[in-house]
Amino acid sequence: MKTVSESKAFEGTQGVYSHPAATTDCEMTFAVFVPPQAAQAPCPVLWYLSGLTCTHQNVMDKGEYRRVAAELGLVIVCPDTSPRGDHVHDEKDNWQIGTGAGFYVDATQEPWSRNYRMYSYVTGELPELIAERFPVDMSRQAIFGHSMGGHGALTIALNDPERFRSCSAFAPIVNPSTADWARNAFATYLGDDESRWRAHDACLLVEDGKRFHEFLIDQGDADQFLDDGLRPWLFEEACRKSGIPLTLRMQPGYDHSYNFISTFMEDHLRWHAARLGA
């Protein structure tokens, strides 16, 4: 692991690191905020998954999480959204596929399957590295994300409910199998057999019997992608039918940007901290 940068923030440390990842067959970069409490004891870890076109840098620069994370004693881990590098296949003219658009799945179709294994990276290889190199209590994990990252957080939590104590999302893609934003990416990465998509679709996972303790979702009602890409009411209905507690908060006037995310970031951190025992 290489240290790209480290700087002091709210008596903790904001770092950026890179390492050669076996799952994605490329150098991966990620950010970690370590709160001051970690000097005394390992702290709970909260995973933040970013959305389409983003890297670890977007939430680090615009998410405004450090002050509250330092107060609550939360380690915040921010992975990248896809593999990157000259040898990594890409569609440079399509922002919904390729670099910045890994969708937190393990691609099965060539040539994508060589590198685009973000599900295994985020759930396996990176957590192992974090547990080895940082002062974290891996028995206390939570996960959240935005847009494509909200999709990732919901599906990862539903597929591994014993690992995470809590899960929340900002404007998630809840039903990618039927969303304009995601269908092409799913077909490209996973093939045309839509039955294989179900393991990465929050609504369909709930329909297939997957369960989680509870969810929190914030969604701006002025989000330009609300009707064709996000549609949180579909997940609300799936949770209602399945008895899964969900708090869906439609926030008047908010769009899809980090202005929206940063406004409600503190709410989400405190909600997770209460469930992590922080």
Residues annotated catalytic, as ranges: 147, 223, 256
Cα separation, 93 vs 41, whole angstroms: 47
Q: What is the CA radius of gyration of the chain?
A: 17
Q: Comparing C-alpha atoms, which of 220, 231, 213 is closest to residue 258?
A: 220
Cα separation, 190 vs 270, whole angstroms: 36
Cα separation, 84 vs 28, whole angstroms: 7
Give the alpha-carbon dihedral of 273, 246, 164, 146, to 10 degrees.
-80
